[in-house]
Chain A
Amino acid sequence: MTTQMLTYLFVGASFLLYIGIAIWSRAGSTRDFYVAGGGVHPLMNGMATAADWMSAASFISMAGIISFMGRDGSVYLLGWTGGYVLLALLLAPYLRKFGRFTVPDFIGERYYSKAARIVAVICLIFISFTYVAGQMRGVGIVFSRYLEVEVTTGVIIGMAVVFMYAVLGGMKGITYTQVAQYCVLIFAYMVPAIFISIMITGNPIPQLGFGSEVNDGSGLSVLQKLDGVLMDLGFNAYTAGTKSTIDVFAITAALMFGTAGLPHVLVRFFTVPKVSDARLSAGYALVFIAILYTTAPAVASFARLNLVDTVHNSSYDQAPQWFSNWEQTGLVGWEDKNDDGIMHYSAGSDNEIRVDRDIMVLANPEIANLPGWVIALVAAGGVAAALSTAAGLLLVISSAISHDVLKQTLMPNISEKQELLFARLAAAVAVCVAGLFGIYPPAFVAQVVAFAFGLAAASLFPALLLGIFYKPMNKEGAITGMLIGLIFTFSYIVYFKFISPQLNTSEHWLFGISPEGIGFIGMLLNICCALGISKVTSPPPIEVQHLVDNIRIPTDAGTAHQH
Chain B
Amino acid sequence: MTNRLDQHRGNYLPPSQHHYQSTASEKKLATYWQSNLSLLAKLIAVWFVVSFGCGIVLADWLDQFSFFGFKLGFWFAQQGAIYAFVAIIFIYSWRMKVLERRFGVDQEGSS
Contacts and interface: CB of A to CB of B under 8 A. Distances in A.
A248 to B, nearest CB: 5
Interface in B39-79: 40, 43-44, 47, 51-52, 55-57, 63, 67-71, 74-75, 77-79
B110 interface: yes
A88 B25 CA distance: 27
A287 B84 CA distance: 11
B85 A81 contact: yes
A357 B18 CA distance: 62
A245 B57 contact: yes
Contact of A85 (B13, B88, B107): B88
B1 A252 contact: no
A223 interface: yes
B100 to A, nearest CB: 6
Q: Interface of chain A, helix or strand or loop or mixed?
A: helix
A223 B71 contact: yes
Interface size class of B (residues with CB under 8 A): 35 or more
Given A82-B85, A85-B88, A553-B105, A543 B13 contact: yes
Interface size class of A (residues with CB under 8 A): 35 or more
B52 A211 contact: no
A552 B12 CA distance: 12
Given A82-B51, A542-B14, A211 B75 contact: yes
Contacts of B11: 550, 556-559
A95 to B, nearest CB: 14
A276 interface: yes
A93 B33 CA distance: 13
A546 B93 contact: no
A108 to B, nearest CB: 13
A78 B55 contact: yes
Q: Interface of chain B, helix or strand or loop or mixed?
A: helix
Given A82-B47, A249-B57, A546 B20 contact: no
Nearest to A542: B14
A490 B42 CA distance: 34
A77 B59 CA distance: 15
Interface string A120-143: 000000000000000000000000
A275 B81 CA distance: 26
Contacts of B56: 74, 78, 245, 248-249, 252
A85 B12 CA distance: 29
B111 interface: yes
A3 B106 CA distance: 53
A101 B3 CA distance: 15
Contacts of A66: 78
Interface string A50-88: 000000000000000010000101100110011011101
Contacts of A559: 11, 110
A66 B89 CA distance: 26
Interface stretch (A277-285, A426-434, A530-538): A277-285
Central interface residue in B55, B78, B89, B100, by most chain A CB within 10 Å: B78
Contacts of A93: 96
A343 interface: no
Interface string A194-216: 00000000000001101111000
B79 to A, nearest CB: 6
Contacts of B86: 283, 286-287, 290
A144 interface: no
B81 A550 contact: no
Given A211-B69, A276-B97, A294-B83, A553 B32 contact: yes
Interface string B5-37: 100101111110010110001000100110010
B46 to A, nearest CB: 9
Contact of A554 (B55, B85, B100): B100
A279 B13 CA distance: 27
A71 B107 CA distance: 44
Contacts of A100: 5
B92 A88 contact: yes
A106 to B, nearest CB: 13
A561 B104 CA distance: 9
B77 to A, nearest CB: 4
Contacts of A318: none
Contacts of A275: 107
A283 to B, nearest CB: 4
A223 B77 contact: no
A30 interface: yes
A102 to B, nearest CB: 14
Given A273-B111, A546-B13, A286 B69 contact: no
A236 interface: no
B74 to A, nearest CB: 5
Contacts of A543: 12-13
A286 B85 contact: yes
A213 B68 CA distance: 10
Given A30-B1, A253-B52, A552-B33, A276 B15 contact: no
21 contacts: A71-B74, A71-B77, A74-B77, A77-B77, A78-B51, A78-B77, A78-B81, A89-B88, A210-B70, A239-B63, A274-B111, A276-B93, A276-B96, A276-B97, A276-B107, A279-B93, A280-B93, A294-B83, A550-B12, A558-B21, A559-B11
